[in-house]
Amino acid sequence: MKKAKTAPLDFETLPGHYIRRLQQIAVAVFLQATEAHGVTPVQYAALNQVAKTPGVDQRTLARSIGLDTSTIAAVIDRLEARGLMQRQASPEDRRVRLLSLTAEGNALVAAIAPDVLTAQEQMLHPLTKAERAEFMRMLRAVVSANNELSRAPTEA
């Protein structure tokens, strides 16, 4: 039995297409706004989260920002090589690595914050204040409802 041939899909009707495009735009806007600091969005997420929770372990950090453990290890390697983050063995379990920012890392997180906020503003600029709040509400709802489908789900 022959399988029926289907027509090509119209990308204009597919949310995944727009989500992919928005991710491309978000990364480009972030990199442009923060160019002077030389960090990627993923590196910034790691730096910012460690600034909020000094002493966090690598596995918990990965889960908190939605990365797999091998990716977070490579990110931390780069940040450590730049002198922005440091690892220390946990006193309770020497296999666990606890993370903290160096003075340079803390200074970078503080210095980059205005540029990160500028990037966020630029991304949502086409929307009114009310639309931004609704967009963020819906975005959180979609991500939260589909969290377990991710290769690196975050902790709720």
CATH for 76: 1.10.10.10
Q: How confident is the model at residue 127 (pLDDT cuts 50, 70, 90)?
A: very high
SS3 per-residue string spanning the chain: CCCCCCCCCCHHHCHHHHHHHHHHHHHHHHHHHCHHHCCCHHHHHHHHHHHHCCCEEHHHHHHHHCCCHHHHHHHHHHHHHCCCEEEEECCCCCCCEEEEECHHHHHHHHHHHHHHHHHHHHHHCCCCHHHHHHHHHHHHHHHHHCHHHCCCCCCC
Classify residue 71: in a domain, yes or no: yes
Classify residue 95: in a domain, yes or no: yes
> How many domains are contained in the chain?
1
Classify residue 3: in a domain, yes or no: no
Classify residue 102: in a domain, yes or no: yes
What is the domain range of residue 99?
27-123
Which amino acid makes up residue 119? A
Share the mean pLDDT of the chain.
94
pLDDT in tens, 50-75: 999 999 999 999 999 999 988 999 99
Classify residue 72: in a domain, yes or no: yes
**Higher per-residue confidence, 135 vs 152:** 135
Classify residue 14: in a domain, yes or no: no
Classify residue 5: in a domain, yes or no: no
Classify residue 85: in a domain, yes or no: yes
Per-residue confidence (pLDDT) for residue 83, from 0 to 100: 98
